[in-house]
Amino acid sequence: MVKKIGLAVIGLVLLATMIFTVGCATDNTIGTTSQQTGIWVNGTGKVYAVPDIAQLTLGVEAQAATVAQAQAQANQAMADVVAALKAAGIADEDIQTQYYNIYEVTRWDYDKEESIITAYRVTNTVTATIRDIETVGAVIDGVVVAGGDYIRINGINFSVEDPNIYYAQAREQAVNYAKAKAEQMASLTGVTLGKMFYITESSYSYSPNYVDIRAEYAAADGASTSISAGQLEITTTVTIAYNID
């Protein structure tokens, strides 16, 4: 008799444990489901901005029989280029060195089966921030004249100094689009759109306009260099969730 009572008690304990476990699992499932109810939508806004800043990447490259000769040529050429940039109204703080390198120029000697140094090359690259877009072509022409055959121009990156005002416009578009989408989905599915309970800016992008002018920087026949800044695309995406009734 004692054994039967003991088994009954153990059985009741196990049953209670199972009920408690199932109850916990049910609560978790309901909680997860409740977080996924409603209407979730994404909205993307896109605006275009006219650039007001140009960042010109340029430099000089010199090659000579010795390091000292190559460095002297490059240093003088860069000094002339920087002087031309300053003469065009570019401030000291808007001129920044990006790359400086001295390396060997070699050829392979098949008879000796070894690499032979034939010269030394010095490369010095800077970026110049041009805050008057209308003068970009003139600045390029000026540094080409100053740098002569040593000049190297890699490209131009156009941007806007304060993209925040454009982000605000894109964000407004994105929110309005997401709201309109949610209203349409509610109408199509026969539900009533309730209060918004979640919103986040999930992504945004800003695409500076890069122009490669390495093959165009030499003004032919005295013609001035023509550069078009174009437009910049600024986008943002928001995610919004609404309750439904």
Same domain for 47 and 166, yes or no, is yes
CATH, residue 78: 3.30.70.2970
Alpha carbon separation from 93 to 86, 131, 158 (Å, rounded): 11, 12, 18
Same domain for 137 and 199, yes or no, is no
Last residue of a domain, one of 159, 184, 203: 159
Which residue segment(s) compose the domain that 42 sits in?
A: 36-51+162-245
- Is 208 inside a domain boundary? yes
Query: What's the pLDDT tens digit per position in 121-174?
Result: 999 999 999 999 999 999 999 999 999 999 999 999 999 999 899 999 999 999
User: Which pLDDT does position 59 carry in this prediction?
Assistant: 96
Same domain for 138 and 167, yes or no, is no
Same domain for 45 and 91, yes or no, is no
User: Which pLDDT does position 118 carry in this prediction?
Assistant: 92
- Is 222 inside a domain boundary? yes
Specify whether the CB–CB gap between 99 and 127 falls below 8 A: no
Same domain for 150 and 62, yes or no, is yes
CATH, residue 243: 3.30.110.170
Same domain for 123 and 173, yes or no, is no
A 10 A CB-CB count for 33 gives 9
Last residue of a domain, one of 97, 125, 159: 159
Same domain for 151 and 59, yes or no, is yes
Same domain for 210 and 245, yes or no, is yes
- Is 26 inside a domain boundary? no
Same domain for 59 and 106, yes or no, is yes
Same domain for 171 and 135, yes or no, is no
AA letter at 134: E
Same domain for 63 and 145, yes or no, is yes
What's the mean pLDDT when you consider all of the chain? 82
Same domain for 130 and 74, yes or no, is yes
- Is 2 inside a domain boundary? no
Report, as ranges of residue numbers, the positions in the chain whose pLDDT lies below 50.
1-34, 214-220
- Is 76 inside a domain boundary? yes
- Is 12 inside a domain boundary? no
User: Which pLDDT does position 133 carry in this prediction?
Assistant: 92
User: Which pLDDT does position 146 carry in this prediction?
Assistant: 96
Alpha carbon separation from 168 to 43, 196, 237 (Å, rounded): 14, 20, 12
Q: DSSP class of residue 225?
A: P
User: Which pLDDT does position 244 carry in this prediction?
Assistant: 92
Q: In this structure, what is the dihedral angle of CA atoms 173, 179, 181, 184, given to the nearest 10 degrees?
A: -140
136-147 and 67-87 are packed helices; what angle lies between their axes, rounded to 10 degrees?
150
How many domains does one find in the chain? Answer: 2
- Taking the CA of residue 77 as centre, how many other CA atoms within 13 Å lie in the half-sphere pointing to its CB? 25
Last residue of a domain, one of 137, 159, 181: 159
